[in-house]
Amino acid sequence: MEKQLEELAIMLYEIDAIKFGDFVTKVGLKTPVYVDLRTIISHPKIFRQLSSILWTLHDVSEHADQICGVPYTALPIASLISVESNIPMVIRRKEAKSYGTKKLIEGKYKAGEKCIIIEDVITSGSSVLEVVKDLKHEGLIITEALVVMDREQGGRKNIENSGIKIKSLYTLTQLLHYLLAAGKITPAIVESVESYLATCTTAPLKLLNESTNERLKMDFTSRSKLAKNQLTSKIFELMDMKETMLCLAADLTKTDSILKLAEIAGPHIAILKIHVDIIEDFNEEFIKQLKNLSLKHRFFIMEDRKFADIGNTVSLQCSKGIYKIAEWADLITVHPVAGPGIFDGLKNALKNISEDRGIFVVTEMSSEGTLTAGNYVTDSLKMSATCNLIVGHVCQSNIFSDPGLIQLTPGVKLAKASDDLGQQYNTPESVVNAGADLAVVGRGITDATDKLATILKYKKQLWSAYRTRTCP
């Protein structure tokens, strides 16, 4: 085995799969050495030899039902191992499909089956842990992870701390010594890399699901103290005081209808959401009366404008025109599709407003066939993390871990259903279990004959689900 590893190390170096210079790893660390195993697919003999030797690390006493390669570099390695070992393979997609079955895990499998993870290189171990999390969500049992290269920068410990056994063909130190002995690199290169490894490690990662579950287990009062936005703190405190998670969508076209509904619902809701541009008889007196009701019954007003243009345009849309949204809306909704400039534009629109204001970023939508999936979701979370106006995300699932943000989930009805225009509804209990802190209910209340009784029913079910979610 030792001789095989030495020969393989030399071959990998000669096909430029191991490079020395100035590079940056996936987790953002600068490094004098870079292992790029993507090149092996152009060298079938080396490809087969590497896959074969890696599979010898598998504990034969441990039965395996499935193999899963971490996308993308490890996928061909896992595929070859699957074929040679006659063990089925599943693929964990980088992102769920936005069409068809919307699957994240592809392949034929069932809960309770044992799965082995195949990975090319680990630095922090985050890629392996992300795959493990999604496989476990499908009920698969992860027995071990087989890795070609351990960069010795904390990944092994992070994976082992999550309860996963890990074996690697090489550590970076072992690889260096093979190449040094073969005369492929100089002692100076070895010294440089070893010095780098002694001082540069990745931060410990939280255990699988620990960070996201932590948010769901915390009560609103505790989370209010962690919010970076003052309005977010006030919303958490209000929800706790009124024991409500209800955001009422008053998507009505007449001012009198909205005001009557606000009078009935006001004592029982946290937020009243409107679409000002569908109101047929909009006037300044309506805004004045709505603000008075919000003060009387203690709820916040959200204009569900879903701004989605360039910064200068949204600045004008928010502050000018007949609606002057910036002057009265405590909260607004924004699509991140235009890029970070949209947040700068809204900051500009609010620069002369003294009251607390906040933005809900529309990161996911509840309509059928929505394009807000995969990288869109990830990029939205990253982009909005730097804006202090963000109070939370409009989303369908537990996609962020920050307990100081609010998950606002639309599409809620007492019974799971859909309408003729692609809207899909989930029950109060299911959305709270999926991470919702505020649930948007519209037609389930506005179409009800006894609106107050219906409001109280939603309020009670949502709060009961929250209490169960946060129960120790």
Is 16 annotated in the active site? no
Residue 240 falls in the annotated catalytic set: no
> In the annotation, is 379 catalytic?
no
- What single DSSP character describes residue 398? -
Catalytic residue among 309, 344, 356, 379: 309
Q: What are the backbone angles phi and psi of residue 90, rounded to the nearest 5°?
A: -115, 155
Confirm or deny that 366 is annotated as ligand binding: yes
Beta bridge partners of 333: 360
* CB-based contact 172:152 (threshold 8 Å): yes
Please pick, among 133, 228, 291, 306, the residue that the annotation labels catalytic: 306
| Tokens (6 digits) for 318 | 């928010």
Is 251 one of the annotated binding-site residues? yes
Q: Dump the DSSP string for 96-143.
A: --SSTT--SEESS--TT-EEEEEEEEESSSHHHHHHHHHHHHTT-EEE
Tokens 């309770």 appear where? 112
State how far the Cα of 336 lies from the Cα of 333, in Å rounded to an integer: 10
CA distances from 241 to 16, 193, 268 (A): 62, 57, 11
Q: Is 48 annotated as a binding residue?
A: no
Query: Is 273 annotated as a binding-site member?
Result: yes
Please tell me the distance from the alpha carbon of residue 302 to that of residue 332, in angstroms, as a whole number.
6
What is the rounded distance in angstroms from the CA atom of residue 120 to the CA atom of residue 124? 13
Distance CA 221, CA 371 (A): 34
Give the separation between CA 89 and CA 115, rounded to whole angstroms.
9
Catalytic residue among 120, 304, 330, 402: 304
423 has binding-site annotation: yes
What phi and psi values does residue 306 have, to the nearest 5 degrees? 50, 60
| Owner of token pair 């210079």 | 21
Extended beta strands in 186-267, E state: 246-249
Q: Which residues are annotated as a binding site?
A: 251, 273, 366, 423, 442-443
Binding residues for substrate: 251, 273, 366, 423, 442-443
Residues designated catalytic: 304, 306, 309
